[in-house]
Structure 1
Amino acid sequence: MKIFTVENIRLADLYTIQNEPISSDQLMERASSLCVEWIFSNCKHHTKFAIFCGNGNNGGDGFAIARMLYLKGFDIDVFINKEQLKFSNEALINYNRLKDISGISLIDFHDVSTYNFDEKTVIIDALFGTGLSRSPEGIFKTVIEVLNSKNNPKISIDIPSGLFADQMNDENSTIFKADYTLTFQFWKKSFLHPETGIFAGKVIVLDINLTQEFIENTQTDDFVIDDEIILNIFKIRQDFAHKGTYGKSIIVGGSYGKIGAVVLATKSALKTGSGLTFALAPNCGYEILQTSAPEAMFIKGGEKFINQIEEVENAVYGIGPGLGTEKETVKALLEFIENHQSPLILDADALNIISKDKSYLKLIPKRSIITPHPKEFERLFGKTENSFERLDLAKTKAKELGIYIVLKDHHTQVVTPEGAVFYNVTGNSGLAKGGSGDILTGIITSLLAQRYSEEKAAIFGVWLHGKAADFAAEKHSKEAMQPTDVINELGNVFLYLNKKATTQL
């Protein structure tokens, strides 16, 4: 799914209005009715809605939603700024449709502090849309602060009021904090960054049927990884294939006390479909690896830590899990990557070693995939003020070095050398445990070995990792799920994919 800027979303609306054709108020009615369908299905235990409407088109959505919910039998109170009843054209149309309905109360913003928000009340935010260019002030600021202090369920329409769609807000901005955001057609970039996405809660993307011609023909560098992208990447396993068809994966890592990291990466490579899988680790991990992952072959790389990395023809290397930073290990890694020509997957201590000297970055083979978390990224490339700046720096470095950067975060970003960014929306906070990154290394290594391109291996890899984590959380909870549970769910993700892929044939 493409991510559009506010300006391109506006143009998409306009193109739809001109070419469907449909009037702007009819498009608003379509969007509002989809919101109402979702609210009706998900808020059945609530009887009252307090809907806060601004003067622009976001407020128009709120007026339309209020009218439709009232007709479904809910108690509706609509809050407006009675000191300034100057609306946009579409908002005015829906305000006029609403104001004469005797069962709907119109309440002034100034009365919000004395309003009875009982336990059956849902708060709906329709104050500001995506066109906001500065932090809310005056009565709007007061209203948002009062609403944020309430424990009632909160829903924002299109975007939480006060939140910018395409950029960071100022540190002291006043922003409505939603539990759910019902957004139209596209993810907004700010939903996908930790500093700003926290205000959106769970994002529900509603397809309001904007003209596909415009969407397909409008360029963007930002994408959300959705099922459509994945099904275009996923290759169904062929009946007459053999183990050589699906490549050689070599997981390089481990040191005394850190063999578990290699076990996790090796098992995830196996579970992702690698034809031949090797673990290149120190001899102290031999029995552990052969017992826990008997399907993989062992290559000795040292005694208690790695001091040599063997070159195996036509193999894909995933290097870093539990590697350590011993002097001999550093020497072995740098010698290997300097002489290795094919793309690698580098993670964890491999990245920590490279970060010791900026000149080491130039040793990374072109089109390799590195998978840093934010702190590892900072060691490699320097400190940034926020995740937006970090992403900009990642785009610069991916292009400069000719590599793919998988920037791990709540919504992991795959950054390509060409400047495209793919945000992953699978996964959950249950992955915030040691070992999760080792699994991702094994998955991407396996996919690259199976001859997925570097870009597709990275995109597919982060999606698989997150989807398996979502399945694991459903079974075990985010708190109790373990990295091994994520590995065990990879099979169920492939069953899900095969079913979807064969249904489409």
Structure 2
Amino acid sequence: MKIFSAQQMRMADEATMQSKNITSLELMEQAAQQVFNLIHNRLQGAPVLIHVFCGIGNNGGDGLVVSRLLLEHGYNIKTYIVNFSENRSKDFLVNYDRLKEITSSWPIQLKSKEDFPTVSREDMIIDAIFGIGLNRPLVSWVAQLIKHLNTFRCFTLSIDIPSGLYVDKAPDDSEAVIYANTTVTFQLPKLVFFLPQTGMYTQDLEVIDIGLDRNFLTQSPGVGILISKNEVLPLYRPRHKFSHKGTFGHCVIIGGSYGKIGSVVLATRSALRIGAGLVSAYLPECGYEVMQSSVPEAMVITDDDDELAEIHLDFKPTAIGIGIGMGTNEKTVKAFEKFLKHNQSRLVMDADGINILSKHLQFFENLPEKTILTPHPKELQRLIGEWKDDFDKIEKTKAFSKEYDCIVVIKGANSITIYDNQLYVNTTGNPGMATAGSGDVLTGIITGLLSQGYEPLHAAVFGTYLHGSSADIAIQQTSFEGLLASDITSYIGAAFLELFKRPEAEGQVE
């Protein structure tokens, strides 16, 4: 599913009105009807008092239509107009008049702090104040209104986007944003829902089809792609009957130092579990017995006693994952530099490999094209420098990816893969993955996919999805708190099986 910017959504509206020969007022009615349907299906006429807060633009117009439909179906509602300006959109005014025609009391006007209403914990709030059209800082009393509404902690539904959020940048005041239990957004998701700074403002995202022009949606590239099962299934490479271990490549996991052999164990086991035909671990001699006993399926190559002082392979692997637990001491840095100059295999770079690169950017000239980097936030910061907000972070990462022709997987709650100015936003994963070693598992997964012949970008996107899916399946047995990185590896097979479950078998209809 594509992710659109605010400007692209406005263009989609225009394209729809032209292709379907409808007015903006008709399109507003169409969209608001879908919002009402969702609310009505959930409430089923429940006697809850619903407070609808409408701005004076088109998002407010959506709210007025929803208010009217709720009234027509017998719901107990109060509608408020948040008068933050003298300007009103034409469609807002039309729907304001339509609402007044069927209600005995006009919508309640809010113009200052003195007008703020009281809401009970058992009530419901519908937020239709700004939507995606917000493009300037909030008027002071409106910011205070939003903070006021958040204090009631009742169920809150935002139409299109929580008010106070911009679509394409971080909010001016992090407290002056509606905290929505559910956000019902139109047609396509927006990037703001998936970033650490802004994703917290909605707990549950519902994307509803409002009938925007299919040709425009198909032909427009968007600012990103939301990666779910439908997007990764075409990437899967099925195995044929006459395959053998050589068919699926020989990858090598390079890393480890005294006390940090476990990271290589996790990555090696994950590369095997994801389906690599042969996997070797290259690590210091101090890790030999640990690796041989922990992962009997792997071959082991050793170097110096406690740390890597030389990295020499007498064969050409299909793919290499390097950097985990490796350390950054001087002789390891020299070994790393020498290795890069001679390497001709596809690379996945993590942990200390990234840390070394951040201090020696000249090493990038020896990386193969489309090398995959998998930094956590601090490692990313060492690569691209400080950022002012998550949107700035993404722009700097895109520039970095373009400059060095590398694929960057920004690890997080919604891991984002970046390459060729495009974002691939992952939908799998859970808070249990905030545990030591989960990144090492991802390194092994992506390296193992590369080994099997997956293109680097596909390996990064598919691997990130399977990594999160494995954890999602695992927590059904372990809980968030009880999840270990090794559990993620154990459920990789289940994540593959989940890809091919019929929706009916899961109790869902797509």
Q: TM-score, normalised by structure 2?
A: 0.91
Shift of 1:137: 0.5
CA contact (8 A) 2:257 2:306 kept: yes
* Matched positions, count: 501
Residue identity matched to 1:74 = Y
- State the partner residue of 1:295: 297
Which aligned pairs between 1:55-134 and structure 2 lie closer than 5 A? 55-81=56-82, 87-102=88-103, 106-109=107-110, 115-134=117-136
Q: Which residue of the other structure, out of 459, 473, 490, is the alignment partner of 1:471?
A: 473
Give distance in 2, aligned partners of 1:392 and 1:441.
24
Residue identity matched to 1:107 = I
Give distance in 1, aligned partners of 2:102 and 2:374.
57
CA contact (8 A) 1:428 1:469 kept: yes
Give distance in 2, aligned partners of 1:168 and 1:138.
18
Which aligned pairs between 1:73-472 and structure 2 lie closer than 5 A? 73-81=74-82, 87-102=88-103, 106-109=107-110, 115-171=117-173, 174-311=176-313, 312-416=315-419, 418-472=420-474
Shift of 1:389: 1.9
SS at match of 2:2: coil
Residue identity matched to 1:382 = G
Give distance in 1, aligned partners of 2:459 and 2:79.
49
Shift of 1:260: 1.4
Inter-CA distance 102–264: structure 2 relative to 1 (3 Å threshold): same
Give distance in 2, aligned partners of 1:307 and 1:250.
17
Q: What is the CA deviation profile of residues 131-178 of structure 1, one whole-angstrom value per residue up to 9, with x for unaligned ones? A: 111122044223212112221122211011121111233357832222
Residue identity matched to 1:352 = N
Give distance in 1, aligned partners of 2:105 and 2:428.
40
Inter-CA distance 354–82: structure 2 relative to 1 (3 Å threshold): closer
Q: Which moved more, 1:395-404 or 1:442-451?
A: 395-404
- State the partner residue of 2:49: 48
- State the partner residue of 1:27: 27
Give distance in 2, aligned partners of 1:105 and 1:239.
72
SS at match of 1:469: helix
Give distance in 2, aligned partners of 1:381 and 1:88.
42
- State the partner residue of 1:16: 16
Inter-CA distance 112–278: structure 2 relative to 1 (3 Å threshold): farther
Give distance in 1, aligned partners of 2:452 and 2:492.
16
Q: What is the CA deviation profile of residues 414-435 of structure 1, one whole-angstrom value per residue up to 9, with x for unaligned ones? A: 111x222222232222221111
SS at match of 1:479: helix
- State the partner residue of 1:3: 3
Shift of 1:120: 2.0
CA contact (8 A) 1:52 1:125 kept: yes
SS at match of 1:209: coil
Shift of 1:5: 1.9
Give distance in 2, aligned partners of 1:21 and 1:289.
67
CA contact (8 A) 1:70 1:104 kept: no
Give distance in 2, aligned partners of 1:285 and 1:197.
41
Q: What is the CA deviation profile of residues 211-252 of structure 1, one whole-angstrom value per residue up to 9, with x for unaligned ones? A: 211112223342222333212212223233221121112111
Q: Which residue of the other structure, out of 490, 500, 504, is the alignment partner of 1:498?
A: 500
Inter-CA distance 102–339: structure 2 relative to 1 (3 Å threshold): same
Residue identity matched to 2:79 = V
Inter-CA distance 492–28: structure 2 relative to 1 (3 Å threshold): farther
Inter-CA distance 208–489: structure 2 relative to 1 (3 Å threshold): farther
Give distance in 2, aligned partners of 1:46 and 1:405.
50
Residue identity matched to 1:4 = F
Residue identity matched to 2:62 = D
Give distance in 2, aligned partners of 1:391 and 1:86.
35
Give distance in 2, aligned partners of 1:85 and 1:328.
69
Give distance in 1, aligned partners of 2:396 and 2:9.
26
CA contact (8 A) 2:130 2:163 kept: yes
CA contact (8 A) 1:76 1:104 kept: no
SS at match of 1:179: strand
Inter-CA distance 470–34: structure 2 relative to 1 (3 Å threshold): farther
Give distance in 1, aligned partners of 2:266 and 2:442.
9
> Percent same amino acid at aligned positions?
39
Residue identity matched to 1:79 = Y
Residue identity matched to 1:61 = D
Give distance in 2, aligned partners of 1:251 and 1:102.
69
Q: Any unmatched runs of 5+ in structure 2?
A: 506-510
SS at match of 1:244: helix
